A and B are shown apart, each in its own frame.
Chain A
Amino acid sequence: MTSHVVIVGGGATGLSSAFWLRREGVAVTVIEKGIVGWEASGRNGGGATHPYSPLFREEQRLWPMMDDLLGYPTEHRPQRVRIAINQSQLDIMRSTENLAVQQGFKVEELDNKAMRELIPWVGDDVAGGAIYHYGGQANPQRTLQAYAWAVQDLGGTIMQHTVVTGFETAGGKITGVQTDQGLVGCDAVVLAAGPHTSQLAAMLGISVPVVAARAEMIVTEPVPLISVGGSDGNGLYGRQTLRGNLAYGGGPHEWIDLPDHRTPRAVNSPVMRSVARRLFELFPKLGHIRVIRSWAGVIENTPDGRPILERLDSPENVVVASMSSVGFGLSPATGRAIMQLVTQGRCDFANLDYLKLNRFEGLGPNWAEEVGWRPWSPESEEGAA
């Protein structure tokens, strides 16, 4: 019987796990090194359209209920439009195997006229695109605070500004989490610390192969609301917020070092001008709309870009969760899956067999260098992959 779970990481995955565990009556303590939702969980495109994930159906089932379940607004909107500004983008879009359609979700093609009616800012010569009657998007910042408040409303504990320094183990289990605020006893642990998951797992002698990168977005002043908030393409992901701002990202990321438990401030780069360029190409009638802000975040990726979601064999009361740069949208489903992994050892609504750590057996210690996933500077040796 699991009575107290410590969740390391107050991001989307950790807080959702805490929420679902608390709903099952399990005592939870979330340990967060800074402020809840502060890092990549609170700064991303807000998309909730992940048909390649085994958690996709649950993601789609849960999102429309999240405002009611959490008790606070998430700004979830249920659809997404994909825009092809030219024939080549349209051809690629059509040729891409649509995993959502295969799972029974509806995609409706849009021609030039239909696209212009739906989104008045596209070019007169827009090739077309599609509207997805699934997916959609939410406001990451608001959703993360909603998770945190819901956990507290249910009686869960959140310790902010608390750093995990080690683990106490006995009999093949973790019995306590050491922090700079003292020891927190536990019956089970969830490691959901994003790019820092690998440092934490290393304290248990477990290798979690993830490396960190910086990615960035821009946001404009508000423009009149369109009916579908998420409308992107042309190499960008993003959405119109319910306030009317356009928030978009895409393009080159930067691999970075994380030498310790801290997350350095993620700055913007001149890539933001190229994001603006693509947004101007996507919405040529909005050339006069002003960019008012930008931001960046730090995310982690595994060697194959797929999540690690597994309850370990040893210590057997530990769940490791790294979502490999796609965590926010899936978080309602991920948290519920992790709740099941903690309480019953297996997830009964999704096949997580191929998201285990054992797929990386044979991975060398220099794997990130070998694929170029390391910080780069003009002075460093340059070469081709």
Chain B
Amino acid sequence: MTRPIDHTSIAGKHFPTAEHVALVVLGAGPAGIAAAVEAAGLGVKVMLIDEHPVASALMGIDVPWMFGERMTAAVQNQGRMLEQIVAARPDLQAAFDAGVDVRLGVYAWGAFVEGPTSKALPGSLLGLADEERSWLIRFDRIIVAAGARDLGLAFPGWDRPGVMGAQGFAAATALYGAFSGRRIAIIGSGALAAQVARQAAAAGVAVAATIDATQRITAVLGEAEVEGIAFARLDGSAPASVACDTIVLAVDLVPNVEMFDLLGCKTVFAPEKGGYVPVTDAAGRCSPSVYAAGDCAGICDASIATPARAIASGRNAARLAVADAGHAAPAADPIPPADAADRDAWRRAFLAAHATDRALTICRCEEVPLEDLIGVRPPRYLDYDATKFENRDIRTLAAMGPVNQDQVKRLTRAGMGPCQGRRCREQVQTLLAMQGNQASGDIPMPSYRAPLRPLPLKVINAADETEEMRAGWTTWFGIPAQWLAQWEPAPEGLSWQNRHNRSYEG
């Protein structure tokens, strides 16, 4: 007797894959390029994927970085931007020369791997897309070198066009050569702020002021666009303002761990590494086939200042992956220990200084003010009885167990917008922890979900879907008796007994 299968289920469905790749490297920054070149040099077939140049429409909603609407129209010409990016990353030439299959302008938006609720796949799959279509590839191993994101932190006026992040600024000036501002103010006082100042100097952009941790921003000046910034010392003395057309938020970066979450890898909150980072074994594996390289494994000042650490970690990840695949590879090079600043404390200090006005917008996409976040209020487009919420807030929620950011997200919508939570995820975590008197790491990381980039329906659309997918498609299971009057017995032919007997005939 053959084992019966449920044809309305995923059983027996085939997902077409464009190719089967031994090693994928995700991210063509210093770590990713080094990993790809190293692995290719050791004789492994490598595909190196990077999303830049990204669509200008995504830049408009601050994906993947906070571009602050400070990109020139040049970014609409993707062909030109592709040339620009190859020129800005000269190391890419080494990858081309080593025979790496380099895919630029390709989004890695999904990963589908075996797990407790996913057994039906033929292997590990990656969802890729460009501006026109999406497709799947199968891979054996993956080195994630997805870099860092901008850390969004709210201050009065941070939702104005012209407020951008350090990564957005670096991309606008060095990577795309398409920065539309002329005079910036920098918020931050560490290695990242210094890096922004260096990049500004290199790009010929004036720095009007650097606002450090002893100060707080009191207002962004200007009607619609940024025209200046006003700030004061935290001790209350010496308020000041300067004229500028752009404000670069450079307090810190966040390890970009979204793909690890989809790959089923565990993460842990590490204050000294800038947030949630992948858990690795002693050798550096996140799972038997997933490896982390560069900033996505953790931020440190030394890595912000120079790519040397990222390059070394990329090479080491490649050697590990190559060895795991059964090929000869050199031992890992030593990497100097990272500095161990409490980067979580930077967020807390910034928010303690700035998140004082209860009307301050925290989630920009969904327009959630601080008071609605900590009061767990419904969104304002709903009518509700405000008296019902007088005795409800984050603290009453915390009394029922640890505050869960995904739960708060569902109630307040903070983080549910088109930017996919990039601008508020970390500060919501910090604010919940501060309000609930909890350690930041006690707030479980809100889940990441595919697509990791907002993709149009016509792009994510499975144009390559198989006939059996269409033939076996059912809106909701395929149990005929479910949809017939349940105040009477199921008809003879559709009872479970009949289904059960029929299953033996096959």
Contacts and interface: CB of A to CB of B under 8 A. Distances in A.
Contacts of A145: 410-411
B6 A288 contact: no
A73 B400 CA distance: 21
A195 B78 CA distance: 49
Contacts of B416: 293
Contacts of B499: 303-304, 371
A372 B488 contact: no
B496 A376 contact: no
B55 to A, nearest CB: 10
Interface stretch (B87-95, B120-128, B178-186, B229-237): B120-128
A288 B455 contact: no
B10 A71 contact: no
A382 B400 contact: no
A269 interface: yes
Given A294-B449, A294-B450, A371 B6 contact: yes
Contacts of A131: none
Name which of A158, A326, A375 has the most chain B CB atoms within 10 A of its CB: A375
Interface string A1-18: 000000000000000000
A141 B411 contact: yes
Nearest to A360: B496
A53 to B, nearest CB: 6
Interface stretch (B67-75, B271-279, B468-476): B468-476
Contacts of B250: none
Interface stretch (A20-28, A110-118, A165-173, A351-359): A351-359
Contacts of A272: 110, 450, 460
Contacts of B262: 267
Given A265-B117, A273-B462, A274-B465, A287 B6 contact: no
Residue from B9, B110, B112 whose CB has the most chain A CB atoms within 10 Å: B9
B31 to A, nearest CB: 27
Contacts of A271: 10, 13
B301 to A, nearest CB: 33
A346 interface: no
A372 B6 contact: yes
Interface string B457-491: 11011110100010011111101111111111110
A129 to B, nearest CB: 15
B5 A382 contact: yes
A270 B15 contact: yes
B122 A291 contact: no
A213 B118 CA distance: 10
Interface in A209-268: 213-215, 220-222, 235-237, 242-243, 250-257, 264-268
A250 B3 contact: no
Contacts of A355: 486
Contact of A383 (B2, B378, B418): B2
Nearest to A286: B457
A86 to B, nearest CB: 14
B382 interface: yes
A167 to B, nearest CB: 24
Contacts, number: 296
B116 interface: yes
B473 A305 contact: no
B506 interface: yes
B454 A378 contact: no
Interface stretch (A58-66, A196-204, A361-369): A361-369
B455 A290 contact: yes
A276 interface: yes
A235 B471 CA distance: 11
Contacts of A385: 4-7, 502-503, 506
A369 B456 contact: no
Nearest to B502: A385
B420 interface: yes
Interface in B86-123: 110, 112, 115-122
A280 interface: yes
Interface string A76-95: 00000000000000000000
A213 B9 contact: yes
Interface in A102-130: none
Contacts of A301: 477, 479
A304 B495 contact: yes
B455 A291 contact: yes
Given A99-B485, A289-B456, A382-B2, A71 B388 contact: yes
Given A35-B401, A292-B454, A378-B122, A306 B388 contact: no
Contact of B465 (A35, A277, A324): A277
B285 interface: no
A236 B134 CA distance: 21
Given A252-B13, A270-B462, A384-B4, A160 B489 contact: no
B486 A250 contact: no
A253 B472 CA distance: 11
Interface in B320-362: none
Contacts of B456: 287-291
A332 B454 CA distance: 35
Contacts of B134: 273
Given A253-B10, A292-B420, A305-B477, A377 B489 contact: no
A277 B477 CA distance: 19
A372 B5 contact: yes
A313 to B, nearest CB: 20
Given A272-B450, A273-B134, A287-B458, A35 B404 contact: yes
Contacts of B473: 235, 250-252, 274, 278
A384 B479 contact: no
Nearest to A232: B475
A292 B500 contact: no
Given A270-B110, A370-B504, A376-B119, 16 more contacts: A38-B407, A251-B469, A251-B473, A280-B461, A287-B461, A290-B454, A290-B455, A305-B477, A305-B481, A325-B476, A354-B486, A367-B496, A378-B121, A383-B2, A384-B5, A385-B6
Closest 4 CB pairs of A and B: A383-B2, A305-B482, A305-B479, A287-B458
21 contacts: A35-B401, A35-B407, A42-B410, A54-B486, A73-B378, A220-B457, A237-B475, A242-B381, A243-B381, A254-B10, A270-B112, A283-B457, A290-B456, A293-B449, A304-B482, A305-B482, A326-B476, A372-B4, A372-B7, A380-B3, A385-B6
Interface of B: 1-13, 15, 110, 112, 115-122, 125, 127, 134, 136, 262, 264, 366, 378-379, 381-385, 388, 392, 400-401, 404, 407, 410-411, 413, 416-418, 420, 447, 449-451, 454-458, 460-463, 465, 469, 472-477, 479-490, 494-497, 499-500, 502-504, 506
